[in-house]
Amino acid sequence: MKRIISTLILLTAVFNMISASSLTQEADSAYMNDDFIKAAKLYEEIAANEGTSSNLFYNLGNAYYRQGKLGLAILNYERALRLDPSNKDARTNLAFVNSKITDEPGDRGMFISNTVNGFACKTPANTWSLIAIGSFVLLLGAITLYVFSSNVRLRKTGFFGGILLLGACVLANIMA
Protein backbone atom coordinates (compact mmCIF):
# COMPACT_ATOMS: atom_id res chain seq x y z
CA MET A 1 0.00 0.00 0.00
CA LYS A 2 2.83 2.42 0.85
CA ARG A 3 4.46 1.60 -2.44
CA ILE A 4 1.31 2.45 -4.39
CA ILE A 5 0.89 5.77 -2.56
CA SER A 6 4.51 6.75 -3.10
CA THR A 7 4.22 5.80 -6.77
CA LEU A 8 1.09 7.95 -7.12
CA ILE A 9 2.81 10.87 -5.44
CA LEU A 10 5.81 10.48 -7.75
CA LEU A 11 3.60 10.28 -10.84
CA THR A 12 1.65 13.36 -9.72
CA ALA A 13 4.88 15.32 -9.25
CA VAL A 14 6.17 14.24 -12.67
CA PHE A 15 2.83 15.11 -14.29
CA ASN A 16 2.87 18.56 -12.65
CA MET A 17 6.42 19.17 -13.88
CA ILE A 18 5.46 18.12 -17.41
CA SER A 19 2.33 20.30 -17.41
CA ALA A 20 4.29 23.24 -15.99
CA SER A 21 6.96 22.95 -18.64
CA SER A 22 4.35 22.56 -21.39
CA LEU A 23 2.48 25.63 -20.10
CA THR A 24 5.76 27.55 -20.05
CA GLN A 25 6.53 26.39 -23.57
CA GLU A 26 3.05 27.45 -24.68
CA ALA A 27 3.51 30.89 -23.11
CA ASP A 28 6.96 31.28 -24.70
CA SER A 29 5.53 30.18 -28.05
CA ALA A 30 2.70 32.71 -27.78
CA TYR A 31 5.25 35.43 -26.98
CA MET A 32 7.39 34.46 -29.97
CA ASN A 33 4.28 34.57 -32.20
CA ASP A 34 3.57 38.13 -31.04
CA ASP A 35 0.46 37.07 -29.11
CA PHE A 36 1.44 39.05 -26.04
CA ILE A 37 -2.01 39.03 -24.44
CA LYS A 38 -2.14 35.22 -24.48
CA ALA A 39 1.46 35.02 -23.27
CA ALA A 40 0.72 37.34 -20.34
CA LYS A 41 -2.35 35.31 -19.38
CA LEU A 42 -0.35 32.08 -19.50
CA TYR A 43 2.48 33.56 -17.45
CA GLU A 44 -0.08 34.77 -14.90
CA GLU A 45 -1.57 31.26 -14.81
CA ILE A 46 1.85 29.74 -14.27
CA ALA A 47 2.51 32.17 -11.41
CA ALA A 48 -0.84 31.33 -9.81
CA ASN A 49 -0.57 27.55 -10.16
CA GLU A 50 3.09 26.59 -10.08
CA GLY A 51 4.70 29.45 -8.20
CA THR A 52 6.91 32.35 -9.15
CA SER A 53 10.46 32.89 -10.24
CA SER A 54 12.57 35.80 -11.35
CA ASN A 55 12.53 34.64 -14.98
CA LEU A 56 8.75 34.24 -14.92
CA PHE A 57 8.25 37.83 -13.74
CA TYR A 58 10.84 39.01 -16.27
CA ASN A 59 8.94 37.30 -19.09
CA LEU A 60 5.65 38.66 -17.79
CA GLY A 61 7.13 42.16 -17.71
CA ASN A 62 8.25 41.76 -21.33
CA ALA A 63 4.76 40.63 -22.37
CA TYR A 64 3.18 43.63 -20.65
CA TYR A 65 5.70 46.01 -22.19
CA ARG A 66 4.88 44.68 -25.65
CA GLN A 67 1.19 45.35 -24.94
CA GLY A 68 2.01 48.94 -24.00
CA LYS A 69 1.15 48.42 -20.32
CA LEU A 70 4.23 50.10 -18.92
CA GLY A 71 3.04 50.18 -15.31
CA LEU A 72 2.49 46.41 -15.20
CA ALA A 73 5.80 45.87 -16.96
CA ILE A 74 7.63 47.93 -14.32
CA LEU A 75 5.81 46.07 -11.54
CA ASN A 76 6.90 42.69 -12.88
CA TYR A 77 10.49 43.76 -13.52
CA GLU A 78 10.66 44.95 -9.92
CA ARG A 79 9.19 41.64 -8.75
CA ALA A 80 11.85 39.81 -10.74
CA LEU A 81 14.57 41.93 -9.15
CA ARG A 82 13.13 41.37 -5.70
CA LEU A 83 13.44 37.59 -6.19
CA ASP A 84 16.83 37.81 -7.88
CA PRO A 85 18.68 41.16 -7.53
CA SER A 86 21.42 39.91 -9.86
CA ASN A 87 19.02 39.59 -12.84
CA LYS A 88 20.77 42.00 -15.20
CA ASP A 89 18.17 41.66 -17.96
CA ALA A 90 15.34 42.68 -15.63
CA ARG A 91 17.41 45.61 -14.32
CA THR A 92 18.20 46.76 -17.87
CA ASN A 93 14.59 46.48 -19.02
CA LEU A 94 13.35 48.26 -15.89
CA ALA A 95 15.67 51.20 -16.58
CA PHE A 96 14.57 51.25 -20.23
CA VAL A 97 10.84 51.24 -19.42
CA ASN A 98 11.32 53.89 -16.71
CA SER A 99 12.97 56.11 -19.32
CA LYS A 100 9.88 55.76 -21.52
CA ILE A 101 7.53 57.11 -18.86
CA THR A 102 6.88 60.83 -18.89
CA ASP A 103 4.67 62.80 -16.57
CA GLU A 104 2.63 65.18 -18.64
CA PRO A 105 -0.09 67.37 -17.24
CA GLY A 106 -3.38 66.39 -18.77
CA ASP A 107 -5.92 68.69 -20.32
CA ARG A 108 -7.84 70.29 -17.51
CA GLY A 109 -10.80 70.79 -19.76
CA MET A 110 -11.64 74.46 -19.20
CA PHE A 111 -10.42 77.14 -21.58
CA ILE A 112 -10.22 79.78 -18.86
CA SER A 113 -8.30 77.60 -16.40
CA ASN A 114 -5.89 76.47 -19.15
CA THR A 115 -5.28 80.09 -20.11
CA VAL A 116 -4.75 81.21 -16.52
CA ASN A 117 -2.42 78.28 -15.78
CA GLY A 118 -0.45 78.97 -18.96
CA PHE A 119 -0.15 82.64 -18.10
CA ALA A 120 0.80 81.97 -14.48
CA CYS A 121 3.39 79.35 -15.41
CA LYS A 122 5.17 81.55 -17.95
CA THR A 123 6.17 84.04 -15.25
CA PRO A 124 8.37 82.83 -12.36
CA ALA A 125 6.96 82.85 -8.83
CA ASN A 126 9.57 85.38 -7.69
CA THR A 127 8.32 87.86 -10.28
CA TRP A 128 4.74 87.39 -9.10
CA SER A 129 5.81 87.98 -5.51
CA LEU A 130 7.62 91.20 -6.48
CA ILE A 131 4.49 92.38 -8.30
CA ALA A 132 2.40 91.57 -5.19
CA ILE A 133 4.78 93.46 -2.89
CA GLY A 134 4.95 96.45 -5.24
CA SER A 135 1.19 96.66 -5.65
CA PHE A 136 0.78 96.41 -1.84
CA VAL A 137 3.19 99.30 -1.28
CA LEU A 138 1.33 101.37 -3.90
CA LEU A 139 -1.96 100.37 -2.22
CA LEU A 140 -0.67 101.81 1.05
CA GLY A 141 0.21 105.01 -0.82
CA ALA A 142 -3.28 105.17 -2.35
CA ILE A 143 -4.87 104.69 1.08
CA THR A 144 -2.66 107.47 2.46
CA LEU A 145 -3.66 109.72 -0.43
CA TYR A 146 -7.35 109.01 0.21
CA VAL A 147 -7.19 109.57 3.97
CA PHE A 148 -4.96 112.66 4.15
CA SER A 149 -5.84 114.55 0.97
CA SER A 150 -8.25 117.48 1.07
CA ASN A 151 -8.67 117.67 -2.71
CA VAL A 152 -11.70 115.65 -3.92
CA ARG A 153 -10.02 114.66 -7.18
CA LEU A 154 -6.98 113.22 -5.33
CA ARG A 155 -9.26 111.42 -2.85
CA LYS A 156 -11.17 109.77 -5.74
CA THR A 157 -7.89 108.81 -7.38
CA GLY A 158 -6.67 107.30 -4.13
CA PHE A 159 -9.93 105.42 -3.57
CA PHE A 160 -10.33 103.88 -7.04
CA GLY A 161 -6.60 103.39 -7.45
CA GLY A 162 -6.56 101.57 -4.12
CA ILE A 163 -9.30 99.23 -5.30
CA LEU A 164 -7.36 98.42 -8.49
CA LEU A 165 -4.11 97.95 -6.57
CA LEU A 166 -5.83 95.68 -4.05
CA GLY A 167 -7.09 93.53 -6.94
CA ALA A 168 -3.60 93.46 -8.48
CA CYS A 169 -2.06 92.48 -5.13
CA VAL A 170 -4.54 89.63 -4.61
CA LEU A 171 -4.16 88.41 -8.20
CA ALA A 172 -0.37 88.46 -8.01
CA ASN A 173 -0.48 86.45 -4.75
CA ILE A 174 -2.76 83.87 -6.38
CA MET A 175 -0.50 83.58 -9.41
CA ALA A 176 2.59 83.21 -7.25
Q: Model confidence over 97-107: pLDDT tens digits?
A: 888 887 655 55
Residues 6+ away with beta carbon under 8 Å from 75: 61
pLDDT-derived band at 109, boundaries 50, 70, 90: low
Separation of alpha carbons 176 and 99, rounded Å: 31
Separation of alpha carbons 73 and 170, rounded Å: 47
Separation of alpha carbons 40 and 67, rounded Å: 9
pLDDT-derived band at 118, boundaries 50, 70, 90: confident
pLDDT-derived band at 166, boundaries 50, 70, 90: very high
User: Once rounded to an integer, what is the mean pLDDT over residues 139-149?
Assistant: 92
Query: What pLDDT, on a 0 to 100 scale, did the predictor assign at position 146?
Result: 92
Average pLDDT value over all residues in the chain: 82
pLDDT-derived band at 157, boundaries 50, 70, 90: very high
Look at the pTM and tell me if it is higher than 0.75.
no
Count Cβ atoms below 10 Å from residue 34 Cβ, excluding itself: 9
Query: Is the pLDDT score of 123 beyond 50?
Result: yes
E strands in 74-164? none
Query: What pLDDT, on a 0 to 100 scale, did the predictor assign at position 12?
Result: 57
